Amino acid sequence: MRKVLVVGAGQSGLQLALMLQENGYDVTVMSARTPEEIRAGRVMSTQAMFHTSLQHERDHGLNLWEAEAVRIEGLGVSVAGPDGGRVLDWFGRLDHYGQSVDQRVKMAGWAELFEQRGGKLLIHGVTTADLDSLAALYDLVVVAAGKGELVGLFDRVPERSPFTSPQRALSLAYVHGLAPRPEHPDSPGVRFNIAPGVGELFVIPAYTLSGNCDILFFEGIPGGPLDCWADQPGPDEHLRRLLDLVRQYIPWEYERCADVELTDARAALAGGYTPVVRHPVGELPSGGFVLGMADVVVANDPITGQGSNNAAKCAVSYLDSILERGEAPFDREWMTTTFERYWDYAQHVTQWTNALLGPPPEHVLRILGVAQANETVARRFVNGFDDPTDYQNWFMDPAKTADYLATV
């Protein structure tokens, strides 16, 4: 039985560990926190997972909260005009619903499931020195911890990483009491609100420790009015400030916020990080190699909501590569090939996400405008969040956009 060590207990690491366990591998997961500490901690992210990623979870019996979690039926786009009104406002339907489960709920539950199924869960922060001494005990070591010292094992790839600083100041709050959108009260959906020159507000239906909720998530252009979290306010001040920004820049969403309150005292978060692609193979001081996965090697800005989706798809791609390897060694060449197989998909997500971080070009504005009156265009744009590879066929290139819009 081949032995695999997974360092990190997030979406990608735990999903891979559970799937390998299902296939008869001897798997150990190292986590810095116990399930109880994860549940009691601060929210870690936003997430909106779409059909393909959710189906991977279903295929392996990991969809533990599907019956309880609110269904995301579509995605709406609104663009603010200079008078505070909306110059664009439309809603496109997903072919299959999405869902968002607070990672405190999911990761704690998956860690417990992993143990229940016979896996070894070690609670210990891992340094490079620790990993160096542990690696020889396993056939394969996968690093799925996207923060901390271990990320330093994986060098940045300049030709795949156009940014050297964060492109958005991020702030969010999980809330109860947000009123339904009057335009589609019975069809919850992600709302993508754009304030040109200022940033974006996403409103995401989600499921948290206390049941269904909504996530208010600002992406602020650095140095602008939404970049105001350096003082790290407490939760109540965080929510007050966030709502004031909603009132000022996205007033149509503020109308829904009269009864909003945080879901819990740790339901607010602010920060930012630089989008980056890293080399997938890390070399330990002893000469051993470890394989990076998901956010460790491809970290995109969350503006396109692809973080958890990428993690889920990376786990499935790595699983296939591991199973196909059989008893052959997991050497450096195999690790590089395994990552490039995943990158064949992830490069499209990265290109699309990086494009959305800049001012929208004329052909993209035309797409958003046509989508307001044409359900076919709106639906194609929205369903690209499930399969971002499709954007290469019509969204990313002005000539392809013109050709496509001429047909609809």
What confidence score (pLDDT) does residue 20 get? 98
Does 148 have pLDDT greater than 90?
Answer: no
What confidence score (pLDDT) does residue 265 get? 97
Is 0.95 topped by the overall pTM? yes
What confidence score (pLDDT) does residue 184 get? 78
For residue range 67-123, list pLDDT tens digits in order. 999 999 999 999 999 988 999 999 999 999 999 999 999 999 999 999 999 999 999
Locate all alpha helices (DSSP H) within 255-397, ordered by sequence: 307-325, 332-356, 362-373, 375-383
| Mean pLDDT value across residues 317-329 | 98
Look up residue 201 and give its DSSP letter.
E
CB 393 within 8 A of CB 352: no
What confidence score (pLDDT) does residue 343 get? 98
What confidence score (pLDDT) does residue 185 get? 79
| 3-class secondary-structure state, position 47 | coil
Q: Angle CA(265)–CA(268)–CA(272) in degrees, nearest 5?
A: 150
Rounded to whole angstroms, what are the CA distances from 169 to 41, 134, 222, 351, 361? 22, 37, 6, 20, 22
Residue 164 in tokens: 């050297």
Give the mean pLDDT of the chain.
Answer: 97
For residue range 340-382, list pLDDT tens digits in order. 999 999 999 999 999 999 999 999 999 999 999 999 999 999 9
Q: Percent of the chain beyond pLDDT 70?
A: 100
For residue range 185-239, list pLDDT tens digits in order. 788 999 999 999 999 999 999 999 999 999 999 999 999 999 999 999 999 999 9
- Of 185, 227, 212, which Cα lies nearest the Cα of 67? 212
What confidence score (pLDDT) does residue 80 get? 96
Does 267 have pLDDT greater than 90?
Answer: yes
What confidence score (pLDDT) does residue 146 get? 78
| 3-class secondary-structure state, position 96 | strand
With b for 16 or more beta-carbon neighbours within 10 A and e for fewer, the 1-10 pattern comes to ebebbbbbbb
Locate all alpha helices (DSSP H) within 34-154, ordered by sequence: 35-40, 51-59, 103-116, 128-134
Domains and CATH numbers, the chain: 3-45+55-62+103-163+274-356 (3.50.50.60), 72-100+165-271 (3.30.9.40), 362-407 (no CATH)
